[in-house]
Amino acid sequence: MRSPTILVAKGACNPAALVRRISSHDVYEFTDLTDVVGPARRAELIVIRSGTHLGADQLAALPNLRHVVRAGSGLDGIETALLTERGIGLHRNPGASAHAVAEWCLTALLSLARRIPLGAQGLAAGDHLKAACTGAPLSSANVAIWGAGPVGRAAATLLAPFVSDIAFAARRSITGLPQMPAPDLPGWADAHVVALPATAENTALFNTAFLDAASGRAPLLVVAGRLATIDTGACLEALADGRLSGLAVDPVEATDAHLFRTGPKPLNLLVTPHIGAQRRDVRRVLDDWVTDTAHALLRRPAPGSAAELVDARVRAARQVAAQLAEEYPGSPVWMTGPVACGLAHARSDVDLRVLIPDGPVPVLQSRIVDDIRVDLEAQAATEVDELRCLLRKFHILADDVDLFRTVRRRLAALTVLATARTLPGGEQPVLDQAEQDVYRKWALADRIQHAISLAEDLDGLSRAGMTDAAELVAMQLQTAVQQAENTAAGHPLLGDKWTPVLAAAATPPPPAGPVGQALRQARVRLLAALLEVWPETAEPDGAVPVLWLEPGWLPQRYSDGWRIKRADTTIRLTPGQLAAWQQAIHP
């Protein structure tokens, strides 16, 4: 019987290291997947790099694939929805090459500012263009950075001593960094560093409209993210007519080379064949990471109890936390996520977070301990302080829901705080009981609001006769209701996969049934969850209007009292009216 295989895209990593480390699998290097048909059918893991496409056709040729390892960060070319549909894990290392790419950005900016590419191209064509190569000092330049991921942040840190000012293109998810609204940047920046992923939102973002808006400053444009983020033809035309003073592009694959045949006229143009991460130390780090990750993913763990799985991961976390305490003295280390809550499955990773009191926030790389992956993330302590401010009080009023909107946007980060335990040592909760209580209320309010939205969709889909979609939303509603019950019981919002685990001790809910029945069950269970957090002792008061008993009305609890809501209609209830409604709807 042939061994299972590991496929490696040429240039993604050192295949010899995989051969030495993983004896259970054969290793095949490929340039084109169609050249390795037999090994592809036996492949359990594939290592890819930028330029490798994994779509429906490619995945169909990989029937046994369990893991995709991306030796970098980009997702372009990877149809992630198909991976999720097949249960294929995606593993990336977005931080390993960030400093090297930032170094390329600095090199490119210096070269363009001094017009070195123009002079070099002129000499190659037999022209001596000394006068045309008069540049501007980089030290006087305002630099806009588009993208606040590891590369964008590393570029800002490296460029800061050499430029006048730096601002990131503003996004709600960015905290602790200087920002400006994106529409203001073309009129402010002398140079733009593009470190954006190739998403639909970012495709050809730097197009004729942007170039015209920026033409008053004739800026330098440095592209370190993905080529798809710029309109290449428009940028080259702007470089030729002076709307751009210089253009540097790194993410150029072999299939893109023809786009940069510019003709005989020398240009201040620097084009490189995607070499941002091509530094020996980075390649060694990535090779080691790929090998360690593949070994950990393909190892067949012996069966063990849930407690044993958690204990093994806590031991790994303590070991890495001790290392981090030495590497970053004075920086607290937290264990977060499911493992910190005593939950793990046979392939669970561990999440550790290092709080940086001041200075730049480093990019940390994952570590492997006893075949357990420990994911590391650094975070500015000031950002944590901002988050904890949201846990001072629960505040939602009928005419003031702005704070609720803010909390909902940042609930994932607040959940990290709610799960956090200090390491190494006592493993005490980071939040005190008062903060945990406020988190519990915010999380429950979020799940209630989500359930109300799903109930509206369910009713609308049912009325339109869209049965299949209605059944899917009914399942989502049941999950949201169970999550509300879990949060009311004091559990954090850990994600859908842990929802049934956290609810294992509870009585299983009845099947959802028809739409009306599903909505009636949801309102009874949600009201019980709310009353667990906000108990009421009022006696029933008055008759309940028939309208309030129709399916789809779900309860809410704001700071200023009770209400029931269906779609866009809200009815405020006194505690006595709530008690009467509860009595009327109870099965």
> Length of the chain, please?
587
Contact 69, 46 (CB under 8 A): yes
Contact 196, 202 (CB under 8 A): yes
User: What is the model's pLDDT at position 505?
Assistant: 44
How many whole angstroms separate alpha carbon 507 and alpha carbon 526? 15
- pLDDT-derived band at 213 (thresholds 50, 70, 90) equals very high
Contact 334, 418 (CB under 8 A): no
* Residue 344 scores a pLDDT above 70: yes
- CB neighbours of 262 closer than 8 A, spacing ≥ 6? 236, 240, 269
Question: What is the DSSP code string of 215-283?
Answer: TTT--EEEE-S-GGGB-HHHHHHHHHHTS-SEEEE-B--GGGGGGG---SS--SEEE-BS-TT--HHHH
User: What is the model's pLDDT at position 305?
Assistant: 61
* Residue 527 scores a pLDDT above 70: yes
Average pLDDT over residues 189-211: 92
Average pLDDT over residues 416-420: 93
Q: Report how many helices (DSSP H) and strands (DSSP E) the chain contains, helices first.
A: 19, 20
User: What is the model's pLDDT at position 508?
Assistant: 45
**Residue type at 438 in one-letter notation:** V
**DSSP code of residue 395:** -
User: What is the model's pLDDT at position 432?
Assistant: 87
Q: Is omega for the bond preceding 186 within 30 degrees of 0, making it cis? A: no
Question: What is the DSSP code string of 60-101?
Answer: HT-TT--EEEESSS--TTB-HHHHHHHT-EEEE-SSTTHHHH
Neighbours of 419 (CB within 10 A): 25
DSSP β-bridge partners for residue 41: none
pLDDT digits (tens, 9 = 90+) for 226-274: 999 999 999 999 999 999 999 999 989 888 889 998 878 899 999 999 9
Residue 542, by phi and psi: left (phi above 0), alpha (psi -120 to 50) or beta? left
pLDDT digits (tens, 9 = 90+) for 376-404: 999 999 999 999 999 988 999 888 889 99
**Closest of 161, 4, 149, 9 to residue 74, by C-alpha:** 149
How many whole angstroms separate alpha carbon 361 and alpha carbon 210? 31
Q: Do the bridges between strand 561-566 and strand 569-573 make them parallel or antiparallel, or are there none, so unpaired?
A: antiparallel
User: What is the model's pLDDT at position 398?
Assistant: 83
* Residue 424 scores a pLDDT above 80: no
Neighbours of 114 (CB within 10 A): 18
Share of the chain above pLDDT 70, in %: 96
**Rounded-to-5 percentages of helix, strand, coil across the chain:** 45, 15, 35
| Tokens at 280, concatenated | 């020996």
User: What is the model's pLDDT at position 156?
Assistant: 93
Which helix (H) or strand (E) segment holds residue 377: the answer is strand 372-380
User: What is the model's pLDDT at position 426?
Assistant: 56
How would you list the strands of the sheet with 5-9, edge to edge? 26-30, 5-9, 43-48, 67-70, 89-92
Average pLDDT over residues 464-476: 88
Token pair 């080691």 is found at 288
How many whole angstroms separate alpha carbon 46 and alpha carbon 70? 9
pLDDT digits (tens, 9 = 90+) for 488-525: 988 999 888 888 888 754 444 544 457 888 888 899 99
Alpha-carbon separation of residue 135 from 140, 141, 161, 191, 503 (angstroms) = 12, 12, 19, 13, 66
How many whole angstroms separate alpha carbon 125 and alpha carbon 566? 72
How many whole angstroms separate alpha carbon 103 and alpha carbon 250? 12
CA–chain centroid gap for 14, Å, is: 28
User: What is the model's pLDDT at position 374?
Assistant: 92
